[in-house]
Amino acid sequence: RYERVLAPIDGFAATLDALRAQGLRGCNVTVPFKLDAFAYALERSPDVRWAGASNTLTFADDTIKADNTDGVGLVRDITHNLGVRLHGKNVLLLGAGGAARGVLRPILNEQPARVVVKNRSLDKAQAWLAEMEQNADFNEVLGACDLRVAAWADEVTSEYDVIINATASGLSDTFTPPSGVAFSANALAYDMMYGKPTAFLAWARAHAHGVQTADGWGMLVEQAARSFHIWHGVAPDTASLVRQVGQGGA
């Protein structure tokens, strides 16, 4: 059985305690409780340690395991459903908040040539990079990738093959474009928000001829499938669901 459970803003742990007592096997966690899920867990996957947040909890053998499937879902949607390779590519990640933190490690696992994190607050992005460098596997995951951070208004122009919007701009109807951004030929613009056309995708289409665009519907499907696999050991076939609803931004 899979159903929605609402927790009071100050009662996440108590709600989970009650559900575990009923025999709950695991749960997905949405905002604003992903940080609470990180703190609630007794074991944390490498993706969770990098993100500092969890969207998937598993209860078994008197332990609480935390995973973060957002990044795996994003990468699978881009590489499998959209057919875009990240290996050797120049990737721009917009934002340095929770959404960006949840996807960076899986992106780096694909061995892109370069990843730039652009954020309105450069100090916040720099502090995040310093935190990542404390992970024991940082150098192993980074490999030969050139990872750097940049200010939103940095006017040094660079060309990108994949641009991922991890900011909350999709919640509004406005998007202030970052400076110094150019699209390569056949580039992909991906908005992690889904459900409606976003100003970021509209900007991408107007900014570059022939750019491929996609919203986060496929990511939502793929992260849920990964969570299901963690709980049940079975990988659902996501293709029919992705085709049924379609890539809303495409």
Residues classed as catalytic: 34
How many angstroms separate the CA atoms of 151 and 140, rounded? Answer: 26
Beta-bridge mates of residue 148: 116
Question: 60, 81 in Cβ contact below 8 A?
Answer: no
CB burial of 151-161 (b: ≥16 within 10 Å; e: otherwise) equals bbebeeeeebb
* 27 closest CA partner among 229, 237, 231: 231
- Locus of tokens 């459903």: 81
Coil, strand, or helix at residue 100? helix
Quote the Cα angle for 204-34-58, to 5°: 120
- Phi, psi of 41, rounded to the nearest 5 degrees: -75, 155
Q: Residue 201: which H helix or E strand, with range?
A: helix 199-207
The DSSP bridge pattern shows strands 158-165 and 181-191 to be: parallel
In 3-state terms, what secondary structure has residue 38? helix
Rounded to whole angstroms, how far apart are CA atoms 37 and 29? 7
Question: How many residues in the chain?
Answer: 250
